[in-house]
Structure 1
C-alpha cells in the first residue's frame, strides 16, 4: 500500500470519527440546536374554563398562531390537571396551562426533570361558598363540602384552611368535615338539590353558585394570601421541548403576552372572545352575568406569583396529599423576562418570598 493511500485512509478515518462525534453531540436529548431553534409544531394544552382565559383568547383570536409564524399550533383541551400532566409526561403535549398543584405533582413525580413553569396566567377566582346558616368554620362540623378533585388546587386549599381552624378531614370523606371530590357540574347540581352544604370551587362555578343557587361566601380565597394574590393558572413547558426549541417557546410566550394584553385592554370584547371559544369547545357558553362576575373576580397576569406556589406545596404536605418536595428549579422565567424587559414592563420573580 502506497504512502499516499495510507494518508488518504487516515484522513477519511479522522473525518468519520469527527462526524460521529458531532452526531453524538447533536443527538443528545434535550440539547438546544441554538437559542433561536424552532420546532415545526407545538402541542399546547388548556382547559375550556374561564380561569384559562389567556389560552382561550390566544387560541380563539389567533394570537398564538400569529406569534408562532411557521410553527404549527396543535391545541388540545383537558378537563383536569392530572390528565394534562400525564400528557406532558408522556410527550403527547409540549406545553399546557394548568393549576399549581398538578404542576407540583408533575415536578415531584418526575423528580424535577419533566417541566418548567415559564409564565403566570391567572390569579384569584376561588373560594368556599355555603348554604345559609353556616357562618363560621365551626359551623362546618358534620357538613358535606365539595371540591373539584382529590388533591387538586381547591381541594388542598380547603383541607389546609379546615386544618388551620382545628377541623379534621381524610381522603375518604371522613373526619369533622366530609369532603366530597366531584366534578364542578355535579357540585353545582348537588348544591342546588341540597345534598351538599357548600363547595370550594374556582370560577366560573364560584359565581354560578352565588348567582344561581344563592350560595353565600364563607371564604374568598384571595383574602388568605399576601396582597390578595395567589396562582390559579400558569403556563408550563416540557423541559425537553424548552431545551430543544427555545425559539418556539419564546414565540409561544409572545402570544401569551399578547393575549393577556388583549384581555387587560379590551374588557367586554375579551370576555366575549373567551366565551366564544368556550362555546366552540363545549357548546355551553356562560351566561352573561356569570361571565362578567367571573372576570371581575380574576386577575390575568404574567407573574406566576411564585411565593404562593411554594406555600401551596407546604399546604399539600401538611394535609398528607404530597410527600416533601424540593421545588428549587421549577421555574425558568428567563425568556419571559427578556420579553417583558424589551416591552418596557417589569420583570417577575421566581423567589419563594
Structure 2
C-alpha cells in the first residue's frame, strides 16, 4: 500500500471520527435541551423565623427533598429580606421565602425581570408592642420605636400607620416618632432595658416582647387589613430558574404544600418540627409559650393575599421608601394552581382587588 493511500485512509478515518464526535455532541445538546425542566439541584433561602414555618417544617421533615426526588435541595438562611434578594440576584440562590416589601423592591430593582412570586406562605403575626403608659398614637410622640430594618415589611407598616395617625418619622430617626431600624435581637434587648419604647416586629418577637418583657400590643397589624389577612411571607423564584426548570419548581411547591398540610393536620407536630429546625439553625429553640403564642397569631396559607402586596407597595410609596412601580406580572401562580386543583383545593388569585 502506497504512502499516499495510507494518508488518504487516515484522513478518511479522521473525518469519520470527527463526524461521530460531532453527532455525539449534538445528541448531548438535544438531550440537555429536552431535560431543561429538571434541575440537578435547587438552592432555597429562608429565615430561622417562625413566620417562615412552612420552610422550617419542609426542611426538617424532608418534604422538599422527598418531592424533589433526584434534584438536590441546598439551603441557605438569611436574617433580612434585602440580603436574600441580593443573594437571589447574584445567583447564590434560586428561590427564597421572603416578605412582601423586599420582593417589591427586588421587582422594581430588576425592572420586572428578576423574580416571580409563586406561592403564599404566611399571613399575619406582626404588630406594635409598647411599654405601659402608651395607650394611643398620640402617646408615641417623642418616643423611640424599633423596626427590623429600614424599608422592610414591618418598617413600612409602622411608618404608614404613623402617617395615617398624623405623626411623621424620617429615615434618619427624626420626626414626631424616632424610628430606629435594628435587628430583632437588639430590639428585644433594648426594649427589656428600657432604651426603646416599643417595636413593630414579626413573630416570634412580638410574643417575646409581651411574654418576656411585659410589653403590650398597641397594634395587631391584622386588625388593619380586610378579613385580618395580609402577606407576611411568600415564596419567590428567579424568572430564569422558573423558565428553565419548571418541573423542579413545581416539585418545590409540592413540598411547600405538604408542609402547609402538616400545619393544618397536626399543628402540635408542626410546631415541634419548626422549633427543632430553629434550634438546629440558631442553637436555641423557642420557649413553648412563645412558640404557641406565635402560631396562634399566624395564618399559614398558599394564598399570597395579593391585594395586600399592592397595598404594601402603595404604603412604601406614600412614606417615601419606594418610587412608583408597576407590579403587573410579579405573580406566576399557574404551577401552584395546577397542584391545588389536582388536590381538590380552591385555586388562588393574583388580583389586586
* Same-fold status (TM-score > 0.5): yes
Asked if 2 retains the 8 angstrom alpha-carbon contact of 1:36 and 1:248, the reply is: no
Equivalent in the alignment of 2:221: 221
**2-structure distance, mates of 1:43, 1:90:** 12
**2-structure distance, mates of 1:214, 1:139:** 18
Equivalent in the alignment of 1:279: 279
Asked if 2 retains the 8 angstrom alpha-carbon contact of 1:98 and 1:235, the reply is: yes
> In the TM superposition, what is the alpha-carbon distance from 1:33 to its structure 2 partner?
4.7
Equivalent in the alignment of 1:299: 299
Asked if 2 retains the 8 angstrom alpha-carbon contact of 1:35 and 1:247, the reply is: no
3-state SS of paired residue (1:108): helix
Alignment of 1:73-92 (within 5 A): 73-92=73-92
**2-structure distance, mates of 1:36, 1:349:** 28
Alignment of 1:145-184 (within 5 A): 145-184=145-184
**1-structure distance, mates of 2:330, 2:58:** 24
Equivalent in the alignment of 1:211: 211
Q: Does 1:331 align with 2:327?
A: no
| TM-score normalised by structure 2 residue count | 0.91
Q: Does 1:347 align with 2:353?
A: no
Q: Does 1:122 align with 2:129?
A: no
| TM-score normalised by structure 1 residue count | 0.91
> In the TM superposition, what is the alpha-carbon distance from 1:35 to its structure 2 partner?
9.2
**1-structure distance, mates of 2:214, 2:60:** 32
Summarize deviations over 1:30-74 as a string: whole Å, max 9, x none.
Answer: xx9569810000000000000000000000110000000000000
**2-structure distance, mates of 1:65, 1:290:** 29
**Greater gyration radius:** 2
CA distance 1:33–1:352, change in 2 (3 Å):
farther
Alignment of 1:95-106 (within 5 A): 95-106=95-106
Summarize deviations over 1:210-256 as a string: whole Å, max 9, x none.
Answer: 01111011100000000100000000000000000000000000000
Summarize deviations over 1:109-141 as a string: whole Å, max 9, x none.
Answer: 000000000000000000001011111101100
CA distance 1:190–1:335, change in 2 (3 Å):
same
Give the CA RMSD over aligned residues. Answer: 1.9
> In the TM superposition, what is the alpha-carbon distance from 1:305 to its structure 2 partner?
0.2
Equivalent in the alignment of 2:4: none
> In the TM superposition, what is the alpha-carbon distance from 1:297 to its structure 2 partner?
0.4
Greater than 4 Å deviation, 4+ residue runs: 32-36
Summarize deviations over 1:270-303 as a string: whole Å, max 9, x none.
Answer: 1010000000010010000000000010010000
Q: Give structure 1 stretches of 5+ with no counterpart.
A: 1-15
Asked if 1 retains the 8 angstrom alpha-carbon contact of 2:190 and 2:196, the reply is: yes
